Amino acid sequence: MRLPPVKALILYSERDAFSPQLIDAGADVTLPAGTDGAGRVSDIRAVNDGRYELRELRPSDRLRGWARRRARFIHGPYGLAQVWLAQELIASADSADHEATRLDAEESLYLDALARWKARQG
């Protein structure tokens, strides 16, 4: 399986401690109306001091290696990214999956964006 780069719209807001929140993903994603050229929201009340960013997310070397080994990338019962190889859970964004390697924040963001992009494609 080839893992392509994915264009993503990400929100950083004070409410979420400025951690990246995936808003949308796909080739046609743009900054929303009401933002300036730097992605800052002009109406502060709308996003609580938020800032949007368009990013091209790319898979990590580790994700590409798992893809070459034909791993499956899915979202588990709580919506968190998981990586399965054969019948074994090998990596997860869920800290409760103690037996699996922990996905880092960028890997999890990439897999979330990839899933959203694929869902939009139908």
- The model's pLDDT over 35-81, given as tens digits with 9 standing for 90+, comes to 666 556 555 445 556 788 889 999 999 999 999 999 999 987 788 99
Distance between CA 55 and CA 121 in Å, rounded?
19
State the pLDDT at residue 45: 45
φ and ψ of 81, to 5 deg = -65, 140
Question: In sequence order, which residues have a C-beta less than 8 Å from that of residue 109 and are 6 or more positions away?
Answer: 8, 10, 20, 22, 57
pLDDT at 11: 87
Question: What share of the chain in percent tops pLDDT 70?
Answer: 84
**Residues 71-95: what's their mean pLDDT?**
91
Cβ atoms < 10 Å from Cβ of 41: 20
**pLDDT grade, residue 31 (50/70/90)?**
confident
Q: What is the CA radius of gyration of the chain?
A: 16
The pTM score is 0.84
